[in-house]
Amino acid sequence: MSPLPDLIRRLGSQVLTDPADLVGYSSDASRARPEGLPAAVVIARSSAVAAAVEWASSNYVRVSVRGSGTGLAGGAVAYPGGLVISLAELNKIVAIDPANRLADVQAGVITANIDRAAAEHGLMYAPDPASSRESTIGGNIATNAGGLRCVKYGVTADSIAALEVVLASGEIIHTGSRTRKNVVGYDLTSLFVGSEGTLGIVTAATVRLRPRPVGTTVTFRAAFPTIAAAGRAVTAIMTSDVVPEVLELMDRTSVELVEKFSPTGLSTDGAAALLVGQFIGSTATSDLEQATTMSRRAGAISVEQAEGDILLEARRVSSRALSAEGPRVSSDVALPIARLADMFEAIERISAEEGVPIPTFAHAGDGNLHPSVIVRGDSDEVSDDAERILDRITDTALSLGGTMSGEHGVGSLKHGSLAKQLDPATMAAHRLIKSVFDPKGILTPGRGI
Ligand SMILES: Cc1cc2nc3c(=O)[nH]c(=O)nc-3n(C[C@H](O)[C@H](O)[C@H](O)COP(=O)(O)OP(=O)(O)OC[C@H]3O[C@@H](n4cnc5c(N)ncnc54)[C@H](O)[C@@H]3O)c2cc1C
């Protein structure tokens, strides 16, 4: 007998089972496609997450966890016959605590809304993925998302103080604390951050706020004859004593596609790559002078001050602009800062050898690159070819001491490549942790780790 009626009896209107409703909860923003519809979606409110997980556990039903579905690794894609738990309606900012520079939020709050609420107190929630106006804080926590400001303030992990998590058994645990220091127990907060829905479901978080930077704001745009030269400038800036608020890169193709998608007036003026950087504060002007000198030494053709919001907006829409052009497979490799120029040279070489464009944009100051292999035609074979080229990029990043994912996560798309980065003993340690938290293997199985 189908166990679904029992779920509906427990959670009522929070359960969707009409196939027309299920479709919208089955994919994420990645190229991963669901193999079939889930049996049900729970749009969780109040204590529904624990009840839904208990039900899934009792009935051995696979669960995918979902915030806004902007993920790029296939982590939130539904399992055929499985259960999707959506956190999107658990979206209350419970409290802003300026005295302790903390915010208590439910997992489905849109990340940019936390920052907006903090701004009313002169504070900010720093991590700002380019998707921050759509993605949820729960999704950001599960993927340990990065963003434009992360070069200065750190990634999501650096802004999480405490979590409420529903375990695979349906039990609720609390990790971390409201204090600045805390060494009681294992650091479970760090374990759950970046665990991609495989160890538990984050239902609420206490996030750290920082003073909002004030003072002079200067934004610059530096144009380079080669992308490798831009890489050398990033390495120089990031190993100097100036700390940019933002340091992003777009190559020529990315800039052209952004201009086609949403014109901002940004132009490469014939350069191969642009760096877009920003400094805020009392030393902003002298920091800019230093960054300009370092960019010129690395080969910049021009460095000019520019209107900040437009430049940063151009970078924020890069991903959408490239996707609007047609099918592509995109990567998320991260490199040690000193190897950036080597990686950019390798991408150019691979692009020339394969005869395929590989536009690249990057959270350059964090060494995190998003090269995209443009898919030729639309047959499966061609797509396999793009995946093969993408593998060459990943292998190169690993050979330079990098990682196959800097911020999007492993999800389903990179799960098969894990052994390239993790040795057998390290992989076994990860699997041991997974089996302790999720002995029946119901939470996001076969993904992440
Ligand atoms: C245009 C665009 C720009 C982007 N820019 C960036 C960027 O700059 N930096 C960056 O890091 N990413 C970026 N991303 C990727 C994506 O936005 C992030 O991965 C984001 O953190 C996903 O949040 P979400 O709420 O959409 O999560 P989803 O896509 O719904 O889920 C992502 C993963 O988290 C898990 N998950 C979601 N919520 C929870 C929860 N409450 N508890 C446990 N697990 C959960 C899911 O199971 C899945 O594995 C971008 C995506 C797009 C489409």
- More reliable by pLDDT, 283 or 2: 283
Q: List for the chain the helix, strand, coil content (%; round to 5).
A: 40, 20, 40
Please tell me the least confidently modeled range out of 200-209, 217-226, 369-378, 401-410: 369-378
| 197 in contact with ligand 1, CB cutoff 6 A | yes
| 127 in contact with ligand 1, CB cutoff 6 A | no
| 219 in contact with ligand 1, CB cutoff 6 A | no
| 143 in contact with ligand 1, CB cutoff 6 A | yes
Q: How many CB atoms lie within 10 A of CB 401?
A: 11
pLDDT of residue 263: 87
- The mean pLDDT of 238-256, rounded to a whole number, is 95
Banded pLDDT at 383 (limits 50, 70, 90): confident
C-alpha 71 to ligand 1 mean position (Å): 4
Q: Best of 62, 65, 189 to mutate for ligand 1, by most ligand atoms within 8 A of CB? A: 65
**Atom of ligand 1 minimally distant from the CA of 65:** 47
| 367 in contact with ligand 1, CB cutoff 6 A | no
End-to-end Cα, the chain, rounded Å: 32
Q: Which residue has the tokens 């999707």?
A: 84
- More reliable by pLDDT, 155 or 326: 155
| 244 in contact with ligand 1, CB cutoff 6 A | no
**Atom of ligand 1 minimally distant from the CA of 75:** 49
Q: Is the pLDDT of residue 175 over 70?
A: yes
Eight-class DSSP state of 72: S
**Atom of ligand 1 minimally distant from the CA of 192:** 43
- The mean pLDDT of 134-150, rounded to a whole number, is 98
Distance of CA 181 to the CA centre of its chain: 27
Q: Is the pLDDT of residue 435 over 70?
A: yes
pTM, entire model: 0.97
- The mean pLDDT of 117-136, rounded to a whole number, is 98
Q: Is the pLDDT of residue 224 over 70?
A: yes
Q: Which residues of 207-246 are buried (b: 16+ CB within 10 A; e: fewer)?
A: bbbbeebeeeebbbbbbbebbbbbbbbbbbbbeeebbbbb
Q: How distant, in Å, are the alpha carbons of 186, 252, 279, 297, 436 from that of 291?
A: 41, 21, 10, 10, 49
C-alpha 376 to ligand 1 mean position (Å): 27
C-alpha 69 to ligand 1 mean position (Å): 6
Q: Is the pLDDT of residue 254 over 60?
A: yes
Farthest CA pair distance, the chain: 72
Q: Which of 130, 133, 156, 134 has its CA nearest to residue 315?
A: 130
User: How far is Cα 182 from Cα 179, in angstroms, rounded to an integer?
Assistant: 7
Domains delineated in the chain: 4-86 (3.30.43.10), 93-211 (3.30.465.10), 217-399 (3.40.462.40)
Q: What is the mean pLDDT of the chain?
A: 95
DSSP β-bridge partners for residue 201: 166
Banded pLDDT at 213 (limits 50, 70, 90): very high
C-alpha 193 to ligand 1 mean position (Å): 12
| 107 in contact with ligand 1, CB cutoff 6 A | yes
C-alpha 407 to ligand 1 mean position (Å): 9
| 145 in contact with ligand 1, CB cutoff 6 A | yes
Banded pLDDT at 409 (limits 50, 70, 90): very high
C-alpha 157 to ligand 1 mean position (Å): 14
16-38 confidence digits (pLDDT tens)? 999 999 999 999 999 999 999 99
User: How far is Cα 242 from Cα 287, in angstroms, rounded to an integer?
Assistant: 6
pLDDT of residue 238: 97
C-alpha torsion angle, residues 259, 384, 408, 53 (rounded to 10): 130
User: How far is Cα 345 from Cα 20, in angstroms, rounded to an integer?
Assistant: 47
| 194 in contact with ligand 1, CB cutoff 6 A | no
> Which residue has its alpha carbon closest to ligand 1 atom 15?
71
| 135 in contact with ligand 1, CB cutoff 6 A | yes
Q: Is the pLDDT of residue 379 over 90?
A: no
User: How far is Cα 432 from Cα 436, in angstroms, rounded to an integer?
Assistant: 6
State the number of CA atoms in the 13 A half-sphere of 71 facing the CB.
37
Number of H helices, E strands in the chain: 16, 18
| 132 in contact with ligand 1, CB cutoff 6 A | no
pLDDT of residue 63: 98
**Atom of ligand 1 minimally distant from the CA of 196:** 49
> Which residue has its alpha carbon closest to ligand 1 atom 11?
145
| 320 in contact with ligand 1, CB cutoff 6 A | yes
C-alpha 129 to ligand 1 mean position (Å): 9
| 147 in contact with ligand 1, CB cutoff 6 A | yes
**Atom of ligand 1 minimally distant from the CA of 145:** 11
283-338 confidence digits (pLDDT tens)? 999 999 999 999 999 999 999 998 767 888 888 899 899 988 888 899 999 999 99
